[in-house]
Chains A and B, each alone.
Chain A
Amino acid sequence: MKLRGLTLDGHKSRPLKGLIRPVPPPAMLVLALDQGAGEAAAPVVRPGDAVRVGSPIAAGAGAATALHSPVSGIVREIAEHPAPRGAGRCIVIDNDGRDEPAVPAAPVDWRAMDGKALLGLVAEAGIAGLGGAAFPTATKLALARAAGVELLLLNGAECEPWICCDDALMRERAPDIVLGAQVMLAATGAQRCVIAIEDDKPEAIAAVESAVRATDDARFEVRVLPALFPLGAEAPLVAAVTGREVPHDGWPPQVGAVCQNVATAATVARLVRDGRPAMSRIVTVTGSGVNEPANVEARIGTPVAALVDACGGYAATNVRHIAGGSLTGRMLAGDEVPVTKGLNCVLLATAADLPLRAPEVPCIRCGDCADVCPAGLLPQQLHVAARAGDSAGLARFGLGACIECGCCDYVCPSSIPLTARFRAARAREHLAEVERHRALEAKARYERHQRRLAEQAEAERQAFDAARRRAGGADPGGG
């Protein structure tokens, strides 16, 4: 099948000059209950509680993973704070700097565990998809296991400009990725593992290939893909590797594959090697707005300002803070926003990095957007439907299949912010759906209420009749 997308300038070389830098743990950490998946975890600590490194502080629920304290110290408060996905409830921990572990580091004997037990281990460790979606890894693996997938697809494509945290990880910690993948293979029951990497990362490909050779595991294969945005998105990647297209309303296990990010695999490796839950991640700090662009390893909850300090501070005064890359990234409220499991890149963009868009002009129906759309949609038609608020039209043109990659925006000669419109339309449709659901529920409750009132009235009437008959028997004359 044809691979659709854009060949873009990656802007990845500057952060990859040096090694991954550790960020010193800050005095105060802010752990968002919603780490990026759209649902909030349930706190299991109260303000004033003492925590140690690895203590559980929030339990997973739905699309939210469990959270663990990345430092030792005291819980200061559970309150609303700015976070990468907008303000939300966060657990704030004062770091005492002693880094006392809750339990001593010890390897897990994962080879002796069955799939179910491994999934439980991964769930308890709060491991989330580090590619950006932060969906619970254990849930995804469990669904894949239930579907009986054959292929574990490790995503090292990293196709979006500016982001290179996975590249750095593959160069420096390839053996971890392979170990984590072996655990995931055992957990899902998949028979083989493909590690997909784009061809603009020769060092990473070499490192991963040598790690695979070193383990001498015949189930592994390294697949080199062309550097094309957005090939690293789940559905396009599965299609590129397996040749099987994921249905628009479906997901990869339907075609026998489950996708995991390489960084997620490395986190699983750390879990089985040291027994450490997910408490840190690698973040790319880049852009012309920072002195020394680099990939840094930061504990979850570290404010972005500490990442910038670890990279030599700001190089410009007027920078935009963007979470993610230049195409799908979102604007951050500022540098007090903390690192979450879903934050892969902080782009400190100056006007030179991301020129402002030209003013929007009307659509000329050139069709360029349809040529690049990796989901095979017609963005120009979706745009018309979105402007008209036409729910039926949005559904007919497949709004649900849009992966919000931003390719259509990039090529649009009229500078129409298509992806933003689609995102807003999606939010509106979702709210309307919630409203419809509420109305249906209210209707059912109203009908039950009416029925109950009618039954009560009927029962009262019968009781009244019976009483009158009894009274009538005693006094037949009546009035």
Chain B
Amino acid sequence: MNASAILAAIGTVAALAAVLGGILGWVATRLRSDPDALVERIDALLPQTQCAQCRYPGCRPYAEAIARGEADIDRCPPGGEATVRALAALLDREPRPVDPHYGTTRAPRVALIDEDRCIGCALCLPACPVDAIVGAPRLMHTVIAAHCTGCELCLAPCPVDCIAMVEPAATSPGRAVA
């Protein structure tokens, strides 16, 4: 074996490394995984309650935090086990129970305003993340039950505690789902 053969081998490997490295670098810049697309896919699995129990101000911000690796997938009590499982499958992680620190999973409820006690202060209107409360200052307010996600964010601002969380009425009258 002589020096030229060793040099030729080193040269070939170096050239290969340079070419392949170049291709990989180009592919990495051209086909970068879109962080927004991941956020969208995470957001699509969240229940869209917008309740902020995860300590983020809505489902989308929580999805962004998960995508950044800042928050874990166990912070969504309204979604419960099903949501954690779906997120775990999407992100290839181990499913785990919802962290009770962020709340407990329970049957969905809707807000109901006791119209006799409502003083029309309008404080609950901006609190509702999905604009499901109809009202105006000094007029009685009411909750559009079909739009209410049961996030409970309207309870705290109410100065007269006239909002209660109740069982939602059956969505479709008639056929009972047995």
Contact = CB atoms under 8 A, between A and B. Distances in A.
Nearest to B147: A445
B131 interface: yes
B131 A449 contact: yes
A88 B173 contact: yes
A86 B176 contact: yes
Contact of A38 (B46, B129, B149, B175): B175
Contacts of A434: 171
Interface stretch (B47-55, B66-74, B91-99): B47-55
Contacts of A363: none
Contact of A87 (B47, B50, B126, B176): B176
Interface string A413-453: 00000000001100100110011001111110111111001
B149 A442 contact: yes
A89 B173 contact: yes
B61 to A, nearest CB: 10
B177 A450 contact: no
Given A439-B47, A439-B48, A441-B147, A446 B176 contact: no
B109 interface: no
Contact of A446 (B48, B126, B174): B48
A39 interface: yes
Contact of B147 (A34, A39, A442): A442
B131 A445 contact: yes
Interface residues of A, number: 31
Interface residues on B, range: 20 to 34
Contacts of B50: 442, 446
A141 B147 CA distance: 35
A149 interface: no
B169 to A, nearest CB: 12
Contacts of B43: 443
Interface string B60-94: 10000000000000000000000000000000000
Given A441-B147, A442-B48, A85 B130 contact: no
B110 to A, nearest CB: 11
Contact of B132 (A39, A423, A445, A447): A445
B175 A85 contact: yes
A86 B178 CA distance: 9
A42 to B, nearest CB: 10
B60 to A, nearest CB: 7
A152 interface: no
Given A439-B47, A439-B48, A431 B177 contact: yes
Contact of B130 (A427, A431, A449): A449
Given A87-B176, A441-B147, 6 more contacts: A39-B172, A85-B174, A442-B147, A445-B132, A446-B48, A446-B60
Interface of A: 33-34, 38-40, 64, 85-89, 423-424, 427, 430-431, 434-435, 438-443, 445-450, 453
24 contacts: A33-B173, A33-B174, A34-B175, A38-B174, A39-B173, A40-B173, A85-B174, A86-B176, A87-B176, A88-B173, A88-B174, A424-B178, A427-B177, A431-B177, A439-B46, A443-B43, A443-B60, A445-B129, A445-B130, A446-B48, A446-B58, A448-B131, A449-B128, A450-B58
Interface of B: 43, 46-50, 58-60, 126, 128-132, 147, 149, 171-178
Closest 6 A-B residue pairs measured CB to CB?
Answer: A86-B176, A34-B174, A445-B130, A439-B48, A38-B175, A442-B48
